[in-house]
Structure 1
């Protein structure tokens, strides 16, 4: 058994104990070939829930400080295919790593907001995340989470065992944009489409329709 398979098995137990998880749209995740999974970020529970719900292995971007937060994390995170990235900076090495994995037919998970929400509302999309999607030219699967903020807010040490919904949307094809000029030309439309997809999929099943857009921040 691989370490990722072990992590997924343990995550199922953790998720069962912490939340009542509802998953929809698994069929939208490609059975083979490269893809990017983009997920809104509300809680530290999100990577655990994604590992449980996603039918394929994904290499997830994680802030580099997590790798330096103790011996266990430094040992464990690489074994579950986490990719260290510097927050608020475009890291060329991370871009190369992601593109190499996609060329090998792997799936990569990105949280395009770059960090967890403090109050449960969507954060601006990072420009570097949008540019990476355009540069990669592979199917982009949007995934919306709702309820994980209420289960474990960023600012709270306590947890609440509530319902969490995780929904995969239909893959988005942006095409290949090899040059910087091409990516800049396609940027606004791509950012709007990503934002609207995440807003729709992360809407609570008990709530009405909400807004579709959000600002974009640097880098």
Structure 2
């Protein structure tokens, strides 16, 4: 329980102590919105790194050099843990907003920071509102902000991490409508950090692999039509390979 308490103290302490920083960042954003975006990004990344260190996570990162440094992308990955967000966000080289469930808007301070970081809030029960969120994601890409979405739609709570839930095809419209590349991310063993023995946090070894950029317009007509399933298979292959290679 000690690791759990330390991580909670870091997160809660940051949210409380950062109240004046939120105001400062807002003022900076009035004149220099790009500066505000980057300072908010680096600050939150620093807090996430501290949480990961406190949790004792040993992360092996593969293929991060494949992420284009000169254009926004759509990150997509499997999702089994709350720590998936922390582990992937610290790897983002530039401005990146995550797609989160709309219920996160009810959490004070945290939702403020999420808005600063260009996060989008998805109503999973309203198709019309969901489409608006996807279109907002397209606008973010066009404005130079990458977007990350977990296309399974929720955390996969199954025991076998290789048994991925179906990928929602609508998630990929952010890429097909904006023309940006898709970066698949495979996360091995992340549920073992926290969810498998809730509420305890245990030091674990995890593997994060970034696949080759996928350009939808370069795919066959069949693969482009079922882009979600195409990406799901790629991530499943990376998960299986890394589970055998690293013994996680």
Normalised to the residue count of structure 2, the TM-score between the two structures is 0.73
Residue 237 of structure 2 corresponds to 200
> Are the counterparts in 1 of residues 168 and 228 from structure 2 also a CA contact under 8 Å?
no
Secondary structure at 1:145 match in 2: strand
- Summarize deviations over 1:149-190 as a string: whole Å, max 9, x none: 1112278222221001111111001029xxxxxx999322x2
After superposition, give the CA deviation of every residue in 1:188-217 in whole Å (9 maximum; x if it has no partner). 2x2332011111223362427xxxxxxxxx
1:38 lines up with 2:80 in the alignment: no
* Structure (1 or 2) with the larger CA radius of gyration: 2
Question: 3-state SS of the aligned residue for 1:84?
Answer: strand
Greater shift, 153-162 or 107-116, is seen at: 153-162
Q: Gaps (5+ residues) in structure 2?
A: 1-37
**What is the distance in 1 between the residues matched to 2:113 and 2:240?**
33
Instruction: Select the structure that is richer in helix.
Output: 2
Establish whether residue 77 from structure 1 lines up as the match of residue 114 from structure 2: yes
Distance 2:211 2:95 in 1: 17
Preserved contact between residue 166 and residue 202 of structure 1 (Cα < 8 Å) = no
Work out which of the residue numbers 81, 105, 118 in structure 1 matches 2:144: 105
Q: 1:53 to 1:32 in 2, by over 3 A?
A: same
| SS of the residue 2:240 aligns to | coil
CA contact (8 A) 2:167 2:229 kept: no
CA distance in 2, matches of 1:67, 1:81: 13
Residues 1:139 and 2:159 aligned together: no
Corresponding residue of 2:54: 17
2:19 equivalent in structure 1: none
1:156 aligned residue = 198
For the residues of structure 2 that align with 1:78 and 1:8, how far apart are their CA atoms? 15
Q: How does 1:37-76 map to 2 (within 5 A)?
A: 37-68=75-106, 70-76=107-113
Cα–Cα, structure 1 residues 126 and 34, in superposed 2: closer, same or farther, change >3 Å?
same
Asked if structure 2 preserves the Cα contact closer than 8 Å seen for 1:88 and 1:114, the reply is: no
User: Which runs of 5 or more structure 1 residues have no equivalent in the other structure?
Assistant: 177-182, 209-219
Alignment root-mean-square deviation, CA: 2.3
The 2-side partners of 1:172 and 1:147 are apart by 24
Partner Cα distance (1:14, 1:159) in 2: 11
How many pairs were matched up?
A: 200
> Do 1:59 and 1:82's aligned partners in 2 also have CA atoms closer than 8 Å?
yes
Query: Does the residue aligned with 1:166 lie in a helix, a strand or coil?
Result: strand
